C-alpha cells in the first residue's frame, strides 16, 4: 500500500537510453530526481541481447526498472531513440506524469525535451560532459552524470576534484544578478538569482561538484554572500 508521501508526491518518469548512459550513475540520478517527486516510472531501453548492456541488466530487478527490448533491425538506425520518444509523448499526453528524467548523451532527444517543457513540465537530462549543447539547453536542467558519480564518491570517503567554473557560467550568474531585485546595499536574494539563471540555461551547480549554489558562488571572486537572521542567503556583485 502506498504511503502518504507517495500518494501526494509528484509522479516522475525516468527513461534510460541504456546504450548512451552509465549504470554507475543510476543511484545519484534517482537522488537528484527526488527533488521533483517520486520516480514511479522507470524504464530502460536497449537490445538486451548485447553483452554491453549486462551491467544495466544486473540493475533491472534491484531498482525496479522495466526493461524495454529493442532489436537492432537495421544497421545505423536506432529503434531505441524512437521508442523512448513515443513513450515520452504517451506519458505526457496521459496527464499522469508531473516531470521527466532522460538518461542519455544523445542529441536526438532535444525535440522531446523541448516538447515536454512546452507543456510546463520539468525535464532533467543526465549525460556526459560531451553531450551536444542542443540537448543540454533543451532540458530544464542538464546534469553531468560523471560529476554526480565523483560527488558521491567524495561523500563516501573518496577524493573528488571540483570542476572549474567557466567564464560563461560566471557571465550567466552576473546577468542573473543584474536582473534580480537588489536592496539598498546592493544585495539580491540568492534564490532569485538562481531562479533567473535557471530560466535562461540548463545550468546546474552539480556539474561542478557542488550541492548548493551558495557553495559555488563563494568560489567566484566576482561575488560575496551573506546569510541574514532569517536564514536567507543574499549575494552581491563585487566586480
Average pLDDT over residues 64-86: 80
- Residue 220: is it exposed, middle or buried by C-beta count within 10 angstroms (0-12/13-18/19+)? middle
Dihedral over Cα of 156, 158, 159, 161: its sign: negative
C-beta separation of 35 from 26 below 8 A:
no
Average pLDDT over residues 118-142: 95
pLDDT digits (tens, 9 = 90+) for 78-94: 678 889 999 999 999 99
Residue linked to cell 566576482: 222
Specify the pairing of strand 99-103 against strand 123-127.
parallel
What is the per-residue pLDDT for 14? Answer: 98
How much of the chain exceeds pLDDT 90, in percent? 67
Specify the pairing of strand 123-127 against strand 141-144.
parallel
Cell numbers for 125, please give them. 537530462
Residue linked to cell 534580480: 180
SS3 assignment, position 138:
helix
pLDDT digits (tens, 9 = 90+) for 157-202: 655 567 678 888 899 999 999 999 999 999 999 999 999 998 887 8
Contacts of 221 (CB under 8 A, 6+ apart): 238, 239
SS3 assignment, position 59:
coil
Structural domains for the chain: 4-155 (3.40.50.1010), 167-237 (3.30.420.610)
d(CA 5, CA 116): 25
Dihedral over Cα of 120, 125, 131, 136: its sign: positive
Residue linked to cell 552581491: 236
Does pTM surpass 0.85?
no
C-beta separation of 211 from 146 below 8 A:
no
Cell numbers for 160, please give them. 573528488
SS3 assignment, position 132:
coil
C-beta separation of 172 from 233 below 8 A:
no
Residues in the chain: 239
d(CA 188, CA 237): 9
Q: First and final CA of the chain: distance in angstroms?
A: 55
15-24, 114-123, 151-160, 199-208: least confidently modelled range: 151-160
Amino acid at each position: 500500500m502506498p504511503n502518504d508521501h507517495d500518494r501526494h508526491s509528484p509522479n516522475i518518469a525516468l527513461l534510460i537510453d541504456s546504450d548512451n548512459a552509465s549504470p554507475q550513475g543510476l543511484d545519484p540520478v534517482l537522488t537528484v530526481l527526488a527533488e521533483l517527486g517520486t520516480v514511479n516510472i522507470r524504464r530502460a531501453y536497449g537490445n538486451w541481447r548485447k553483452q554491453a548492456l549486462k551491467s544495466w541488466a544486473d540493475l533491472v530487478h534491484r531498482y525496479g526498472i522495466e526493461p524495454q527490448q529493442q532489436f537492432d533491425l537495421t544497421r545505423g538506425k536506432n529503434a531505441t531513440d524512437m521508442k523512448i520518444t513515443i513513450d515520452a509523448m504517451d506519458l505526457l499526453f496521459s496527464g499522469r506524469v508531473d516531470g521527466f528524467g532522460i538518461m542519455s548523451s544523445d542529441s536526438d532527444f532535444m525535440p522531446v525535451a523541448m516538447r515536454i517543457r512546452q507543456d510546463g513540465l520539468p525535464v532533467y537530462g543526465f549525460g556526459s560532459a560531451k553531450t551536444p549543447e542542443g540537448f543540454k539547453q533543451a532540458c530544464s536542467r542538464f546534469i553531468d552524470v560523471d560529476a554526480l558519480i565523483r560527488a558521491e564518491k567524495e561523500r563516501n570517503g573518496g577524493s573528488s576534484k571540483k570542476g572549474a567554473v567557466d567564464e560563461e557560467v560566471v557571465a550567466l550568474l552576473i546577468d542573473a544578478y543584474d536582473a534580480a531585485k537588489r536592496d539598498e546595499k546592493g544585495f539580491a536574494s540568492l534564490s532569485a538569482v538562481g531562479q533567473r539563471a535557471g530560466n535562461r540555461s540548463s545550468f546546474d551547480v552539480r556539474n561542478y561538484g557542488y550541492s548548493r549554489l551558495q557553495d559555488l558562488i563563494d568560489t567566484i571572486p566576482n561575488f560575496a554572500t551573506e546569510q541574514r537572521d532569517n536564514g536567507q542567503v543574499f549575494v552581491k556583485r563585487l566586480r
